[in-house]
């Protein structure tokens, strides 16, 4: 698999990474054995970057990864996140004491003494981002983390953070149906040598090979309360994306492979992290790194799914607590 750098001075990783949110049951019941098979297949495919968080399944996703690793990372480069207080009510805490407590817990569940990348999952607006960077730098100096990152921050916040210390990665939702990062974050990351790690690059399953059925969503499924998966929005979105699926299949590609190839083609510092706990789905995702798109291909894709095509907000009001606005 082609390689991309995780930040200007960071390690090389496979261009397609693996988001591990589903290992914690966020999209329904999970099976540890299947998750382990997915991790084993990831290594075979060259998918070497794992992304998780202390809140995915209240630590369950990290435990699943830890039981697979058994204290040895192998070729994986691992990132985890902290800063969200599990509610209700949901809150954010970026204090040194809380972040240290979270990091130590993550390392214990992973069975490691070091992670390659540690993100602030959501900013605590009561603490200046410069002070938060200072906390993360101390963790780095202690050898507990390799690089610092932020999730769902604005380009302006990235500017402030990098004035204190280089930021290895910023994580934000980015896909054919969520293109907000093009309003400054893609560009700011390029200026500062920061990787843009694109989560939900398959539109939370909408750009996968089989369109999801909201009627079958598990009670814990994040999408049950998401505007884009509720009618009438879902019907409009399904119609649009069905055309994309037909186009992909006509090219001999799976929809997920082509959607990921589109993300990779946007800029060389972007690393998508599709989430799955299925080896078969991971194989289709990884195939996206082998597709080379021409300018004509990109024009064709964007004629089918033009910027802003998605019906409904990407988060409900309750889900949109924490991400920084911009643009």
Q: Max Cα separation, the chain?
A: 54
Instruction: Supply 174's token pair.
Output: 């980015």
Determine the Cα angle at 255 with ends 251 and 257, to 5°: 90
**How far, in Å, CA of 43 to CA of 148, rounded?**
24
Q: Which residue has the tokens 């990351």?
A: 189
Residue 56, C-beta contacts closer than 8 angstroms, at least 6 positions apart: 20, 21, 23, 24, 26, 62
Catalytic residue among 27, 56, 119, 174: 56
Residue 173, C-beta contacts closer than 8 angstroms, at least 6 positions apart: 152, 180, 181, 198, 199, 200, 314
**How far, in Å, CA of 124 to CA of 122, rounded?**
7
Instruction: Supply 204's token pair.
Output: 């939370």
Q: Are 121 and 55 in contact (CB under 8 A)?
A: yes
Closest-CA residue to 50 (of 81, 26, 9): 81
**How far, in Å, CA of 310 to CA of 234, rounded?**
9
Q: Compute CA 227 distance to the chain's CA centroid, rounded to the nearest angstrom.
A: 20
Would residue 98 show up in a list of annotated catalytic residues for this protein?
no
Indicate the pairing of strand 84-85 with strand 91-92: antiparallel
Q: Which residue has the tokens 């382990």?
A: 36
Q: Are 120 and 82 in contact (CB under 8 A)?
A: yes
Q: Are 262 and 176 in contact (CB under 8 A)?
A: yes
What's 315's DSSP letter? S
Q: Are 197 and 77 in contact (CB under 8 A)?
A: no
Residues acting as catalytic residues: 56
């Amino acid at each position: 698999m082609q390689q991309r750098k995780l930040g200007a001075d960071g390690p090389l990783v496979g261009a397609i990474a693996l988001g591990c949110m589903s290992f914690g049951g966020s999209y329904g019941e999970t099976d540890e054995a299947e998750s382990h098979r997915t991790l084993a297949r990831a290594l075979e495919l060259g998918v070497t970057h794992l992304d998780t968080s202390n809140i995915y399944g209240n630590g369950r996703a990290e435990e699943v990864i830890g039981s697979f690793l058994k204290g040895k990372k192998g070729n994986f480069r691992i990132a985890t996140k902290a800063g969200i207080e599990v509610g209700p009510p949901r809150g954010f805490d970026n204090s040194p004491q809380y972040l240290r407590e979270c990091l130590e817990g993550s390392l214990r569940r992973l069975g490691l003494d070091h992670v390659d990348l540690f993100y602030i999952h959501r900013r605590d607006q009561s603490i200046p981002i410069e002070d938060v960077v200072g906390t993360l730098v101390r963790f780095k100096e202690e050898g507990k983390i390799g690089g610092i990152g932020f999730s769902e921050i604005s380009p302006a916040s990235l500017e402030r953070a990098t004035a204190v210390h280089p930021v290895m990665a910023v994580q934000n939702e980015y896909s054919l149906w969520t293109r907000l990062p093009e309003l400054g974050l893609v560009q700011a990351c390029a200026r500062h040598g920061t990787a843009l790690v694109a989560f939900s690059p398959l539109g939370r399953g909408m750009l996968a090979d089989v369109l999801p059925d909201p009627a079958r969503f598990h009670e814990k499924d994040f999408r049950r309360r998401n505007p884009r998966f509720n009618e009438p929005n879902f019907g409009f979105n399904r119609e649009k994306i069905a055309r994309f699926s037909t186009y992909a299949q006509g090219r001999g590609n799976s929809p997920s492979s082509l959607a990921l190839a589109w993300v990779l083609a946007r800029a060389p510092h972007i690393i998508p992290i599709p989430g799955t706990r299925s080896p078969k789905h991971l194989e289709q995702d990884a195939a996206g790194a082998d597709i080379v798109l021409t300018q004509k291909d990109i024009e064709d894709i964007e004629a089918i799914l033009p910027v802003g095509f998605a019906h409904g907000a990407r988060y409900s009001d309750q889900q949109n607590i924490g991400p920084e606005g911009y643009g």
